[in-house]
A and B are shown apart, each in its own frame.
Chain A
Amino acid sequence: MSKRWISLRRLRQLGMLGMNCRNVDFINRYNDRKLFPLVDNKLKTKLLAQEYDVPTPSLRCVVREQHEISHIERQLAVMDSFALKPAKGSGGKGIVVVIGRKGDDFVRSSGALLSLTDIRRHMSNILAGLYSLGGASDVAIVEDLVAFDDCFSGYSYEGVPDIRIIVFQGYPVMAMLRLATHASDGKANLHQGAVGVGLSLDDGRCLNAVQFSKVVKIHPDTERPLSDIQVPGWRDILILAAQCHDMTGLGYIGTDLVLDKALGPQLLELNARPGLSIQVANGRGLLPRLRHIESLAGSRRLSPEQRVDYCMRHFVAVGGQSPPGIL
């Protein structure tokens, strides 16, 4: 680490979006408060996605009341693998991924076994609000497990590699791939130690990668060079992200997508207050792109495909760092 601080001038020059600016100029201005529940509740997001034909892991069952838990085994019997989630959980908390059965027990992705009683207790905890913000009561959702595409094998340790795309007024403006590491305990959150890989908007190749705000060249656990990464089916992924704007009406969102082996890109969840680390992973600030999109406001309505094509054409990165003037 050469320097401990970065100068204010340099931050401005890079067009970095700060927390205050994000909150005042983008979230407060473009995200209507009353739309927040749509993204803060995974169940609502999922139902909305189904309504708009946005691909998402299909919902198997919802547990809303305590008494439903007592006969949950009938519903789970037909499923070999599934993901159990709290609808209002954040940061991947309270998610149990079951990948198979062993006798009466359930096998977790980590290999640990869970009894039916364990599953019931976990559901009970979810309903009591153990994982929701402020302890509000919650519902548990059970959904199909995503069969991860092989293209990222060797790039993620234990956890799920997901793609975070910031969508501003329907335009995808920046993307990154989040790889779980040993340090992040299989979670894909950057501040917990996941590797963030900035992705070029035109073709989905790696631009730059960081872990704990430091540049890395290889995955710290699997030691595969990160610069080889190129996400397949990039345009479809961007289109899926762009659709989320039309679906929710939120102007500034972070979309979390995963690639399914058979079904292609799937929407996992949405975030109305997406973090700022994506800029570090990309090695460039969001602000010039956001302002550029703002300057387009008022021009004719475009379809998600048209918007994606616009971004793929205009937000081209040259090398690791874009020279000034290029968005």
Chain B
Amino acid sequence: MNQKRTFFSVLVLMALIGILTAVLRHTISGTPFFPGQSTSVWLVEARVDFEATGGPVTASLSLPGLKAPGFALYEEQAASPGYGFSILEENGNRRAEWTKREATGEQSLYYSAHLVESDQDNSSGVGKPAGENRNVAWEAAQELAAKEVLDRARETSSSPQSLTRELIKLLNSPASNQNTALLRSDNIDQAELVMNLLGREDIATRSVMGLYLEDARRRQTLTPMIEIHTGREWLLVNPQTGEVGIPPNLLLWHRGGVSVLDVSGGGKSQVAFSMIKQTVPAAQLAKAQNSGSIFSRLGVHGLPIEEQSMFKFLLLLPLGAAVVVFMRVMIGLKTSGTFMPILIALAFLQTSLVPGLISFISVVAMGLALRSYLSRLNLLLVARIATLIVLVIFIISALSIIGYQMGYSTGMTITFFPMIIIAWTIERMSILWEEEGSQEVLIQGGGSLVVAVLAYLIMQTQLLNHLTFNFPELNLVLLALILAMGQYTGYKLTELRRFRAMDEL
């Protein structure tokens, strides 16, 4: 009894380890539990155009951070023939640098990035102000106007962010007085103006360039934004509307004082963005995103594609084995050969069900007919089975060639059947026929087919396929199930029928 308890606690432990590992893999690597789940991926392309003057060229473009708020970058590449390319990192900012010894004429450089919408926190970050406290020298009239505008904004606000909001509201108000007109006089852009004004209030600010992501847009430009420091954290503010916080479709491309694009050795430089939204299966994405994590190393995805597809089949086998155990132990179906049904089910996976069933039954039937002749020859067992293997290969080749000639390319799929297993099946069934009669052959053959079809139906289920392949650890749960069934001492379903005479007594 105690031994039994230990056994079952080990089983439960095993199943738990399997499930926990799967959950861990799900949360860490983002591999989805359900197939067909997809995530939207933004493909953003920056195109840098300039006119080279003939000398050495260095073009440097600011790049979004690996983990920009709201988006995670998982793939980037640059395409620019003849240019050396590298990605540099200087004080937290990433820049792409194209270099060439000699270039003349129109030049186009491309950088593209795949970005995934992620649910990281949308704040611009906490910490000490690393921005600037602008201290600009105003003209006397502007100085006065700035003071007045700030005074009015301060009156209706309570915190840096509300001050900023009020300030922008004042600047935007249609009934704008001369003060704002004066401030705008030297054609200063609104973001700059707001930052200058906030500098007077000792509020740290920094300029940010954002890119609004909209599906299938071309020739987009960066939108200037500002970040203000509230004393505790940085907040993004839209200098046009006064909106606080990062809009969901805004990608922070560039931050800080340096310029977005720097081209030396060329002129008329400009950068334009185009973007497209793609839907990528989440599983594929998780694969690409986690190529370095421990889970990807423990998973099947690290293998070459060819080996992966083999593993896809291998990892399905436990499911088939569990079906066989269930059908034999709990239901009590008789099958010919214990695990022959799994192999047939695997063949069905390749041939699909109905053609597979038809060809299997016809091959076995023909084999049985030939075998009945063989039994008269009085051959030794090994020679008999070897003969059968050859005959089965003949039958299969003949069927597939005839099928092909008649225009059924499905005939070719017959070759997926495991020939040696079929030969053994025929041998066993024919012995069964001689010893127990045709009825027993039908019972066992039918039982094998039922189990095979059931195993096939389970193994080709999308969800289970997905789970066994992406979460190999779930096979531990199956193993626990199989072990538990191995200890089952209750009645089989067929015994309820076998012992029915007991009711008549």
Contacts and interface: CB of A to CB of B under 8 A. Distances in A.
A323 interface: no
B504 A215 contact: yes
A8 B491 contact: yes
A183 to B, nearest CB: 11
B185 interface: no
B329 A20 contact: yes
Nearest to B440: A191
A20 B488 contact: yes
B505 interface: yes
B502 A5 contact: no
B483 to A, nearest CB: 12
Given A4-B497, A128-B381, A16 B505 contact: no
B487 A24 contact: yes
A7 interface: yes
Contact of A213 (B329, B381, B436, B498): B498
B175 interface: no
Interface in B460-505: 486-492, 495-505
Contacts of A25: 489
B499 A11 contact: yes
B491 A16 contact: yes
Contacts of A213: 498-501
A90 B491 CA distance: 26
Contacts of A2: 503-504
The listed residue with most B CB atoms (<10 A of its CB), out of A2, A6, A8, A215, is A6
The listed residue with most A CB atoms (<10 A of its CB), out of B329, B488, B492, B505, is B505
A23 to B, nearest CB: 8
B299 interface: no
B431 to A, nearest CB: 9
B492 A19 contact: yes
B505 A320 contact: yes
B377 interface: no
A67 interface: no
Contacts of A21: 489-491
B425 to A, nearest CB: 15
Contacts of A33: none
Contacts, number: 83
A16 B489 contact: no
B256 interface: no
B435 interface: yes
B331 to A, nearest CB: 11
Contacts of B496: 5-8, 11
Contacts of B505: 208, 215, 283, 320-321
B332 interface: yes
A253 interface: no
Contact of A11 (B486, B487, B495, B504): B495
B380 interface: yes
Q: Is the interface of B mostly helix, strand, loop or mixed?
A: helix
Interface residues of A, number: 35
B374 to A, nearest CB: 13
Contact of A5 (B332, B490, B497, B504): B497
B429 to A, nearest CB: 15
Nearest to B428: A134
A213 B505 CA distance: 11
Nearest to A191: B436
Given A128-B381, A129-B381, A320-B505, A279 B499 contact: yes
A280 interface: yes
A210 B505 CA distance: 10
Nearest to B500: A6
Nearest to B503: A6
Nearest to A214: B501
The listed residue with most A CB atoms (<10 A of its CB), out of B380, B436, B504, is B504
Contact of A16 (B381, B486, B488, B502): B502
Given A6-B499, A11-B502, A14-B502, A20 B492 contact: yes
The listed residue with most B CB atoms (<10 A of its CB), out of A11, A20, A25, A210, is A20
A37 interface: no
A7 B488 CA distance: 18
B376 to A, nearest CB: 13
A18 B492 contact: yes
A10 B502 contact: yes
B337 to A, nearest CB: 12
Contacts of A91: 435
A177 B325 CA distance: 34
Contacts of A208: 505
The listed residue with most A CB atoms (<10 A of its CB), out of B495, B498, B499, is B499
Contact of B332 (A7, A19, A280): A19
Contact of A18 (B435, B490, B497, B504): B490
A43 to B, nearest CB: 21
- Ranked nearest first, the 3 interchain pairs of A and B with the lowest CB-CB distance are A21-B489, A283-B505, A18-B491
20 contacts: A2-B503, A3-B500, A3-B503, A5-B500, A6-B499, A11-B502, A16-B495, A16-B502, A18-B492, A20-B329, A20-B490, A20-B492, A128-B381, A213-B500, A215-B501, A215-B505, A279-B499, A279-B502, A283-B502, A321-B505
Given A6-B497, A20-B489, A208-B505, 17 more contacts: A3-B503, A6-B502, A10-B503, A16-B502, A18-B492, A19-B332, A19-B495, A20-B490, A93-B435, A135-B381, A192-B436, A214-B501, A215-B501, A215-B504, A276-B498, A279-B502, A321-B505
